[in-house]
Structure 1
């Protein structure tokens, strides 16, 4: 009986483990979907404010009917926006508001937020309305601004979902301001947890979700009875003397599994080798192309006897050769058990290095790369070559997007994260490719390998960050987000 009890207990423990893994996996998937949905909704608010500001600047207070018509349309299609308000800096002037408007306390807050704005959107919890927050933009968006343009947003509607998963009593979710104030909901502190800021630069609200796992969830009655029946059956078989046959069957099963594992291991090695070869060819093609271009330019300068410029070309050639060597060393290091520790790298420095590498190529194509780098230092913990490789791939893709491309590379620091955005005026990413743009071998270019963005995503994840295609942006925009270096955060 002791053996039978142990068998039953073990079977129930395995069942509980599998059920917990399934529940947590479903919870994490549903949380990620809700986070993505809320982030997309938040990004829409930026576009609404931009449109409303343009209409107000064009029509002014004399044509406030234009603003109110557009505001009513927005509120009709986006009911989470409960009011649109234009608050003058001069309290004696009348405000322009949709119903129900703002309280005096809220209006004072909008005026203060708009007056202290330096151009970026401002966000704050509404003091007089529960579960709501204000998104404020000065209008016009210059130091000569005279009004504050504000959206009142229902945070409950922002994260509302029809998914029945979130109707279960064991799950909960909440939305918080960056400083920790709860806007709506009430996620618990126990069980499985999910917490992540929304992917919106202007509204980095924090989505928190929780799942309480109870014993009844781990051991559903039907499955538990099935497990008990199977365990009891196995015990009876063992008691009746069929243990030897069971061992024989187990040996045969192990042999079959061993053969399958051998085949799978061989296929895995072949796939890994193919990916490594493709990745090496893709990454080495860039410095080797630069070396070829510099060598051709050096030969031309040597014929002309232009020694001074030839020296600079040779220096760049040496730099590209060293870059190729660094890539090979990095690829070799991936096969070792321990990789070289990351160092604190300057994001702005990496951008300038990539800009210098692509300067001649951009000039030859009639393209232009404009840098808009943050004044604040932005250091991240990463391999310098990997960091430059990610930026190089993004800028190179932008240059290839169109003839005489106009590319802007901007950096800024936001809530402990260094952000880099690469923007180009090309035709953009086809809608059917956008959901799969970071998958290997997916490309919209005729001669593209489909590995560049996949490598960028993998390297960004190894640096502890992520990379995203901003589908709602007016121009083609890729955003790289990386955590600031621990040394910079501590200082």
Structure 2
């Protein structure tokens, strides 16, 4: 019986994909529109900054010229000051008023210049209401919010000031402002001029700048509001939505075609792949089993060969004692080979290891006897340090000795032929565990290969089979131990075993 929602599954996923694609395309369009608007605002702000800086510099120039003329006119009203003031107000309408102020005790007498009917005396001011300027040339600025203007004062000479009144609104050509821009000009905490856009917006971006003129520290704030139509223009949104629908439809058709073709190919090759995998598994298992048996039996067979050769020499020397020792050694190695085969059968069948509580030093010395002669012939020094505790460990003795023998043989291969070749074996305890470290002074292991060193069939030796270290780690794990490897000058293998209690 078909599930009720299965009939809707086919169109539902393309619909969701189309909606997501269309939303992404529209969002990218809005981002592009937004970035374009922000770039325009930044350009307009930079242009305004330059334009404003030029005007403020002109104010400073006017003040300098007027101050020079005032100093040359000791008596007022002055025709020279009037002429220059008329020229300034005519060419620079934003200069709303020019006046000189003479301080006489507590009073200040004001004469206005630049008007069409000549200088005019204005009402006196209180000297205490004027800015305190210390020496000629110093300036001060004061806002006049109710007139949307600010005054610039300059001390021309002792007791004589020049005042320039600037119309803040006239600093900008407000008719050239873009419709969506809002502008605010302030001096300190006083807003001198502002214009707020009446355009509805959903996102606002603000840009601020401070005039670089120290005598007129104006602060300009410009913001732009983005309306819904500006961020999502219909003339562009509609083609994007339709285009995304077409792209999704073609994409879905292509995907379905490819998926069906791949499904048919997978179905056709599935049986063949399963057959190959099964065959490869059987071959790999058989190869690992046979190679493991050959690898482990090599050691006792080599020992029996060496002892048999010693027995043969003892016959020629008529040394019954040496012959007896050689025969005893052969018997031990034959039993050892049998034990190895028994361990291998148990390992293949998954049987439990034969755990015995033995002295750690005794188990180690038994393994070292197998390699001492060979190391001496290769001029490799073996340093052995066995601490007192822990004295007893719970191990499978044959397996443990095979691991020690294999690690020492690997170390010997790494240092063979080099001067001062040395292998160290240190045994002790740490955190309630028996710790055996086997290190050499060879070239070490490539750091890139450390993580793979215990993988089956992976080897760094030209004639290696890649089975020794994987078998070592499995044998140690059977007695709840671990093996680690690191580079410490040369390679260093560390075995950790649970302690077996007191002797």
The TM-score bracket by the shorter chain reads 0.3 to 0.5
Larger-gyration structure (1/2): 2
TM-score when normalising by structure 1? 0.44
TM-score when normalising by structure 2? 0.43
Structure that is richer in strand per residue:
2
